[in-house]
Amino acid sequence: MISVANKRTLITGGGGFLGSHLVERLKAMGCHDILAPRRSEHDLTRADAIERLFVDYQPEVLIHLAAVVGGIGANRANPGRFFYENAIMGIQLIEAARRHGVEKTVVLGTICAYPKFTPVPFREADLWDGYPEETNAPYGIAKKALLVQCQSYRDQYGMNAIFLLPVNLYGPRDNFDLETSHVIPALIRKCTEAVKAGRDEIVLWGDGTPTREFLYVEDAAEAIILATEHYDKPEPVNLGSGMEIPIGSLAAKIASLTGFSGRIVWDSTKPNGQPRRCLDVTQAEREFGFRARTPLDAGLRKTVEWFHSQFGVPNEGSRLSIDHKTESRCTAAADA
């Protein structure tokens, strides 16, 4: 066990969505010796930039969050870039952490690394039982390679490196660019813009039937800190809420929250992505006491309110009528 509040901590991607929340939480704990470099300062795809970073800062803890990410469209448009940049950043950072004797290395993977038809709920032992869903495969495989590196370095060098598998994150300060965003911010923006423009329909990809699990960003930050301080084993650990919701039901919730009352049109010529995504989250609770605390409805409300404050939309109170039937605890396919 370590106390991260007393450590010099390097957080890659610390200026991003998850990273900014993690930095805030660490500072609130009394950890003020934090370095969160931006890409303009240190390009983590370059080995010389990483070496300079480690020599100058001499971190005791490395938390690697930086990634090139996006939704289905971005993954389809940039498979080579998503593979190369995610792989090269992680490989070089983990190697630098080993050479510089970093006390604890925490690497964030992705749920996209799981096989396309993984039985629900996804268990960490299922990670190698097939090829990832095709649109996410380059990104998922690049990240999964870093798990192998962490485990190999632990075996050969005794390196204290752990690997975490977060589900889809959402919350304030998410990426709302429609070209690169994930499903929740994309839906919020589409619905909000339709309301402002007076449009009576929005078009969404797929058919609305796939299910997804979501983790509120502040809960994810808490999970990372707990794992950093209390977990020291080679096996990867899922981070999630253990609840899943069909995309169609999610879209209806967000439409209600944003005040969009028009039609939702599904473009079934576009891919659905993985049929179901929902994690077995028992290991995180067992190993380091993490359990998600923010219900989806509350998290969505906070996210919409934040986006509206940035977008210049007055918040007129929640329009969301909570329907717990749309979100359910992960169950095996035969029981779903």
Which of the residues are catalytic? 139
Residue 311 phi, psi (nearest 5): -90, -5
Q: Residue 286 is encoded by which pair of tokens? A: 């067992």
State phi, psi for 305 to the nearest 5 degrees.
Answer: -60, -40
- The dihedral built from the CA positions of residue 253, 257, 261 and 265, taken in this order, carries a sign that is negative
Euclidean distance between CA atoms 162 and 90, whole angstroms: 13
Residue 111, judged by CB atoms within 10 A of its CB (0-12, 13-18, 19+), counts as buried
Q: Sort 148 into a burial class: Cβ within 10 Å, 0-12 / 13-18 / 19+.
A: exposed
Per the listing, tokens 């039901």 go with: 249
CA distance 314 to 20: 25
Nearest to 68 by CA among 136, 134, 20, 139: 139
Q: What is the DSSP letter of 133?
A: P
DSSP string computed for 202-219: EEEES-S--EE-EEEHHH
From CA 152, how far away is CA 149, in angstroms rounded?
5
Strands of 328-329's sheet in order across: 211-212, 243-246, 328-329
